[in-house]
Structure formats: C-alpha cells, structure tokens
Structure 1
Amino acid sequence: MPIDAAEMQQTFTPGQLNDRMGIELLSVTADEVRGRMPVEGNRQPYGLLHGGASGVLAETLGSVLAAVHALPERFPVGLELSCTHHRAATEGWVTGVARPLHVGRSTSTHEIVLTDEQGRRTCTAKLTCLHRDTRPQV
C-alpha cells in the first residue's frame, strides 16, 4: 500500500542533512522507496557528484524503508553502509530506489540503486539498520 511521500517527508526534522542536500522523496511503499537529489550543490572539488553525497541519499532512502517496516514499535538506526561507485554524475538529478533484502524484528538490510537522468547506474549501496526498542536520545 502506498504511503504519501510528501507526508512522510514532512515527518523529517527540518534543516537537517537531507534538506541541505536537496533530497526529495518521490514514492514510499513497504516494497520500495524512491527519491532523488540534485547533483548541483553536491559535487566534490573536481565537478563530479561527491561519493559521500551518494551515501547520504542511499542511507536516507534505506532508512525511510526501514522505518516503514519498524515503526512505531521499534526505531531503526543505521548500522552499516557500503557503497560502490560505478560512474560519475556531473549534472541533473540522481534518483535512488531502495528495496528490502531482509526485514527481521531486530535488523533489516536494503539495497539502494542510484541512477543518473539517463538511467545509468552511478552507485549501488547496501544499508543494514538495527531496530531499537527505544528511540535514541537527541
């Protein structure tokens, strides 16, 4: 069943990293989360999309997917993120799709595939989240 992506995005704390990176949620279901991020403003000094920016998009989308499965009984937090960068993006938008590989009571693992506007894979990421019994203190 689809979840309103705009409504989900409004639950994010304003002014945090996802806002600064320009990340937008496009669609949210229990089977996949889609989102995008502009390349402009997220480049490294040589004009290519920063690998860390790809990691931020991947972890954001994977964490939202983990939250769909864990909340409200449990609270997901990132445990491990790995990213393989396949090709550079220099302009436009990068779109990511997160899909579950494993969803359990205490952990979940998600694959996140990022592509450029031509549909070429720029990054493949894997995120494992721990599902905590309590929300971390901030």
Structure 2
Amino acid sequence: MPFDKEKALEMCNRFSDNTLMLTLEIVYTDAGEGFLEAKMPVNSRVHQPMGLLHGGATVALAESVGSAASLLFVNPELQEVRGIEISANHLRSKREGVVTGTARIVHKGRSLHLWEVKVTDEEGRLISLCKITNMVLPKKR
C-alpha cells in the first residue's frame, strides 16, 4: 500500500490533542517513506532562564517526532510504541523563531526502531542532533 502523507500527518497531529505536544505547540508538518517532520515555536514558553531554547524542550520535540515516526510503521490498533532511550547533543542556541525536528529511520526491526532526529533552525543550521530508540509492543486491551 502506498504511503499516504496526509493521513500520516492527520494521525500524528490528532494524537497530540491534550498532550505535551499541544502545550509546546508542536505540529507535524511533513512525512514520507522513512521520515517525519515537526515544527515548534521558540518563545518564552520553551526558554530556560537565560532566554534560550531549553534543552529539555528540544529533547521533547525530538522524542515526540521520533516516537510518532515509529507509529507510521506499526498498526496502532494492535501495537504501541515506547521510547526507551534518547540522547541529544545541543550544538547551537536559539532565542526566537521556529525549530524543525526531522526524524529519519536508521534501523527498523520488528521490536526496535532507531531514529536520528536533527533539530534545525529556519536557515537549516543544526541546533541539536538526537538519537531515539523505540520499542514496539503489542497493544494492551
């Protein structure tokens, strides 16, 4: 079955209702075979005390897009995704604007997915480089 970008984005954004993603204003904006993209505004809601993008907010974006990307490879009626490990290297600071998290699949196994998530600014400069490992589990009924 061919990949349906609009259906994938609708599902990811619908799953964000009443969650941290809604609080951080994370919106899924692009998807394709093996990748998912989301954007998050940088403003005082995601700043640390020095007025810079908080590393935790950046990691929340990375984990959100990496976990949602795994959902695109499973049947959400039968399977669930759990992030089991995430790491981040913060390379550049940001005070305002928008950051984009793009998750690309590195390894797609039956029970583990490994994603690389690049968080970039509007000019494509790398803000953070993250790695997330997700476990695929049978859905508990």
Fold conserved between structures, TM > 0.5: yes
**1:36-115 alignment, distance < 5 Å:** 36-40=39-43, 41-72=45-76, 73-115=78-120
Mapped contact 2:88–2:128 kept (Cα < 8 A): yes
Name the amino acid aligned to 1:93.
V
Give the equivalent residue in structure 1 for 2:127.
Answer: 122
More displaced stretch, 106-115 vs 3-12: 3-12
Mapped contact 1:78–1:127 kept (Cα < 8 A): yes
Please list every run of 5 or more consecutive structure 1 residues that lacks an aligned counterpart in the other structure.
none
**TM-score with structure 1 length normalisation?**
0.91
Name the amino acid aligned to 1:39.
V
SS at match of 1:69: coil
Provide Cα deviations, 1:13-38, integer angstroms capped at 9, x if missing partner: 52210000010100122311011000
Give the equivalent residue in structure 1 for 2:137.
Answer: 132
User: In the aligned structure 2, how far is the partner of 1:127 from the partner of 1:10?
Assistant: 20
Provide Cα deviations, 1:68-118, integer angstroms capped at 9, x if missing partner: 112234211101010100000111000111000000101100000000112
Provide Cα deviations, 1:19-75, integer angstroms capped at 9, x if missing partner: 000101001223110110001121111100000000010001101111111223421
Structure 1 outlier segments of 4+, above 4 Å: none
* Percent pairwise identity: 35
Mapped contact 2:13–2:28 kept (Cα < 8 A): no
Give the equivalent residue in structure 2 for 1:3.
Answer: 5
Q: Does 1:25 align with 2:11?
A: no
SS at match of 1:36: strand
Please list every run of 5 or more consecutive structure 2 residues that lacks an aligned counterpart in the other structure.
none
SS at match of 1:129: strand
Name the amino acid aligned to 2:62.
A
Matched residue count:
136
Mapped contact 2:47–2:54 kept (Cα < 8 A): yes
